[in-house]
Amino acid sequence: MTRKSAFCSQYSWFKGNLHCHSTYSDGKLAPHEVIELYRRNGWDFLAFAEHELYSNWEDLSDASFLVLPGVEVEVDVPKFGRCHHLVGIHTSGQGARHLENSPPVDMDGMVGAQRGIDRLCSEGYLAIYCHPLWSRVEWEDISELRGFNAIEIYNHGCEVESHTGIHLGHWDSFLRRGIVLWGVAVDDSHQWIEDYCGGWIMVNAPRLTVHDLTAAIAAGRFYSSTGPTIADFGLDGDTVYVECSPARAIHIVTYEEKGRSHYAPPGESISYASHSLRGDELFVRAEVVDSQGRIAWTNPIFL
């Protein structure tokens, strides 16, 4: 059997954060200071997602560090005390607005969040649904939403602030309905507390450019992490395999079949797991947990 990897071995890996703030909204540090913080810690790219403000700091990018044009849009649900936040990442940089306000989106029943997604998409942005647990949205609040590219499954800022950062339930609910949606780990850092460099994505792309990175993100050619590294994930005939940094557990998640968890013997670690598929699974994805409890998540492969 020949392996069919979810990644391309000729491409490079780029580490980045799709969601952070600066003094241009409610962050503590100026954009160049945020960039320096991430560069120093080994990141290759980040996106400023200022509240209701488009930014495109292309002048602050160079050959080794890329700033993606971004924005964070809020759609209020005042009646319920819930909210929808959406991050937009521009896919080319061409025509991306800089320091222009994003007009507020009316909730208008449940229509508003879809209107926010549609507006971002029509303006050339990938749309990411943010921190569903922090926003306290129920499944019925978002189940009808379509056309967005990803949902935050880990938001480090929310996790550090109020243990509301990790949530996979809504993501899996979309996947079980056959809706292709990627899961992203982000920082949402504001730098007032230690809410940076805790959740990231590793993007498998040819070059560090806005186009190549966002094309890879749109195609799901990345994984999310708070620590572990995933070297490979894919199919070998009817077997799914994962290669990763030393782990205490590797979980293979499938639907409607239940998948399988693999554990290292006490005091040891594992860096490979495989699982024979039955053939009628809708999708398969994997989670890797290291000895400190940090997690990496692959995107799903739809079968």
Q: Of the candidates 281, 155, 161, 178, which has an alpha carbon nearest to the alpha carbon of residue 226? A: 155
CB of 295 vs Zn ion, minimal distance in Å:
21
Residue 104 or 237: the one with the smaller Cβ distance to Zn ion is 104
Which residue in the shown chain puts its C-beta closest to Zn ion?
A: 85
Residue 85 or 248: the one with the smaller Cβ distance to Zn ion is 85
Within 10 Å of residue 171's Cβ, how many Cβ atoms?
Answer: 23
CB of 135 vs Zn ion, minimal distance in Å:
7
> From CA 151, how far away is CA 134, in angstroms rounded?
13
Structure tokens at 171: 């993501």
Residue 165 or 228: the one with the smaller Cβ distance to Zn ion is 165
CB of 19 vs Zn ion, minimal distance in Å:
6
Residue 90 or 275: the one with the smaller Cβ distance to Zn ion is 90
Tell me whether the omega of the peptide bond preceding residue 256 falls within 30 degrees of 0, making it cis: yes
Q: Confirm or reject binding of residue 187 to Zn ion (CB under 5 A).
A: no
Terminal Cα distance for the chain, rounded: 17
Q: Confirm or reject binding of residue 152 to Zn ion (CB under 5 A).
A: no
Looking at 7-15, 130-138, 144-152, 222-230, which segment touches Zn ion (CB under 5 A)? 130-138
Of the residues 18, 61, 67, 85, which one makes contact with Zn ion according to CB under 5 A: 85
Of the residues 68, 130, 186, 273, which one makes contact with Zn ion according to CB under 5 A: 130
Please state the φ and ψ torsions of residue 93, each to the nearest 5 degrees: 85, -20
Residue 183 or 228: the one with the smaller Cβ distance to Zn ion is 183
Whether the CB-CB separation of 161 and 195 falls below 8 Å is answered with yes
CB of 60 vs Zn ion, minimal distance in Å:
19
x/- mask, Zn ion, residues 65-84, rule CB under 5 A, reads -------x------------
Structure tokens at 37: 């913080």
Q: Confirm or reject binding of residue 156 to Zn ion (CB under 5 A).
A: no
Within 10 Å of residue 256's Cβ, how many Cβ atoms?
Answer: 10
Residue 7 or 200: the one with the smaller Cβ distance to Zn ion is 200
CB of 20 vs Zn ion, minimal distance in Å:
8
Residue 148 or 241: the one with the smaller Cβ distance to Zn ion is 148
Q: Confirm or reject binding of residue 203 to Zn ion (CB under 5 A).
A: no
The full 3-state SS of 245-299, as one line of letters, equals EEECEEEEEEECCCCEEEECCCCCCEEEEEEECCCCCCEEEEEEECCCCCEEEEC
Of the residues 152, 159, 187, 188, which one makes contact with Zn ion according to CB under 5 A: 188
Long-range contacts of 165-168 (CB under 8 A, 24+ apart): 165/131, 165/133, 165/134, 165/199, 166/133, 167/131, 167/132, 167/133, 168/297
Can you give the binding site for Zn ion, defined by CB under 5 A?
A: 72, 85, 130, 188
